[in-house]
Structure 1
């Protein structure tokens, strides 16, 4: 016998609406997990970038018996000249020797030099939104990693009579208590608080203008390449700060090459306080205030 054909019933409008609502709900539930997974990958990449920079800085130290200068200033009679910075000095140790060989260190860096506009992944945090060329920092290629100037404010934030660089004050730069500043030459043995207890490089994102990897644009803009750990520059607080687009903190490279994530809530205290804050202690290399876990 031939079975009777049964009429096929389609979805009713109500059923279709219910199915669509379920699909929408499932997509909404999955979206945060997917976004979280992507950010986790970006966090890992950012951490790996800093590890690579740490290895490069130590390779530089192996060759030159010192870490690179925060930035180089050759002519103190010149009016606020630009100078190549620490990240440019380590290019041969991060796989960019050919790019490094194009530099002419006898003259100031210029945006007319195409190689100083080249985006380099090792200097970029994938969570940040800055453009490849940082117009906030003179139009050079962007960097999200800034050297540790120390626990005291950068010269540009000090009164003019205290400045390290401004004309009419001091003819040569004072020494900072950090790792990277103008014409610095810090050796491992100079980090008496311990390389595992002192930061060397930290993140700098769009909220504080980011940075640039080739240079500082002048001695009045040293935070193109370095950042301080003073209370007025506390983490993720203002335009002068170490900062990141990650939630609740930022990555820092320690002087021993390890990378740690520091919370926005890290203890920070002004210079007038009886004791230094944890944030200030980890920025100073030789203050005797050792912080072993941060």
Structure 2
């Protein structure tokens, strides 16, 4: 009597290795696509944040009749008053909130705005860092994070660093004045600068042809405490007065992404931060125009066109300015 038994066939070692190799190749092909999709999502999120900030600027304009100032102080806009300032060259009580604080009520941060004591005796960077009783309200807000000012593509933009990735555009190539060997730029031909009060009517080149806000990854420092002037909720500081450093604004002078990005615990010197825009998005960075539209500008764009877009009324045509 003949009996038949079922035959069981297994994988050979060679077949198993081939399957593993094929899976590995497929994963290697898939990962870049996943990373690109994630970056595209981060870039869209960043674009939306810039859009909301630009619209907040519009709402501020509707309420107060001008765009928020890049930074307020009792120093006039004369070169001798702030471009010549260096460490320890003045007293306290001069500088107050920049645009990042002034627009808080228009980005649904009214309670946070109310927490600042903008009329108090202004506290210097050193006082905030060294003295717990300097100004309790402003000091508390100083050390609080605000992700509405942070690009999700910046790997160092988080609770620990409290950086600001969005600066006002204070102008173009030629600075109104400079200090620190001519490297720290102060402009006033843009839309947002020290003691500015520009209006829509001042953008005679057309609101769609003038930068309002730009991305930056060139914060002077990434320290988690002490003397970082780039916290996204910065207010009541002496930077323009005693140090001659523009804060929360930059000039479109050096090409986009032309400097290496900072590293954790390090950062850039102030001359880079005051005249360079850039981002962690591959190939360029985003700008919000005065009409609140947001565009991506390639780092390879024409430098003259780039600088022209930072000026509100130079009279130069820039139709088809090469953004994506």
The two structures have a TM-score, normalised by structure 1, of: 0.81
Residues 142 and 154 of structure 1: is their aligned pair in 2 closer, same or farther, counting only changes over 3 Å?
Answer: farther
Residues 176 and 197 of structure 1: is their aligned pair in 2 closer, same or farther, counting only changes over 3 Å?
Answer: same
1:282 aligns with 2:309: yes
Q: CA RMSD in A?
A: 2.8
1:43 aligns with 2:69: no
Aligned partners of 2:33, 2:116: CA distance in 1, in Å?
45
Map of 1:193 onto structure 2:
205
Map of 1:28 onto structure 2:
28
Larger displacement relative to structure 2 (2-11 or 100-109): 2-11
Within the candidate set 196, 201, 224, 2:247 is matched to 224
Residues 154 and 244 of structure 1: is their aligned pair in 2 closer, same or farther, counting only changes over 3 Å?
Answer: farther
Within the candidate set 98, 104, 122, 1:108 is matched to 122
1:214 aligns with 2:233: yes
Secondary structure of 1:212 counterpart: coil
Q: Which runs of 5+ in 1 are unaligned?
A: 136-140, 165-174, 269-276
Map of 1:264 onto structure 2:
299
Secondary structure of 1:250 counterpart: strand
The aligned length equals: 268
Aligned partners of 1:97, 1:148: CA distance in 2, in Å?
24
Aligned partners of 1:59, 1:229: CA distance in 2, in Å?
25
Map of 1:72 onto structure 2:
72
Contact 1:69 1:86 in 2 (8 A): yes
Aligned partners of 1:16, 1:197: CA distance in 2, in Å?
60
1:25-71 CA deviation, whole Å, 9 max, x = no partner? 11111101111110110010011001000110000000000001101
Map of 2:109 onto structure 1:
96
Within the candidate set 149, 158, 176, 2:188 is matched to 176
Contact 1:144 1:212 in 2 (8 A): no
Q: Which runs of 5+ in 2 are unaligned?
A: 76-80, 82-89, 133-138, 223-229, 260-271
Contact 2:168 2:212 in 1 (8 A): yes
Residues 184 and 39 of structure 1: is their aligned pair in 2 closer, same or farther, counting only changes over 3 Å?
Answer: same
Residues 196 and 95 of structure 1: is their aligned pair in 2 closer, same or farther, counting only changes over 3 Å?
Answer: same
1:251 aligns with 2:286: yes
Map of 1:87 onto structure 2:
100
The two structures have a TM-score, normalised by structure 2, of: 0.74
Contact 1:85 1:213 in 2 (8 A): no
Aligned partners of 2:93, 2:165: CA distance in 1, in Å?
24
Map of 1:271 onto structure 2:
none
Aligned partners of 1:3, 1:71: CA distance in 2, in Å?
94
Residues 214 and 290 of structure 1: is their aligned pair in 2 closer, same or farther, counting only changes over 3 Å?
Answer: farther
Map of 1:138 onto structure 2:
none
Map of 2:269 onto structure 1:
none
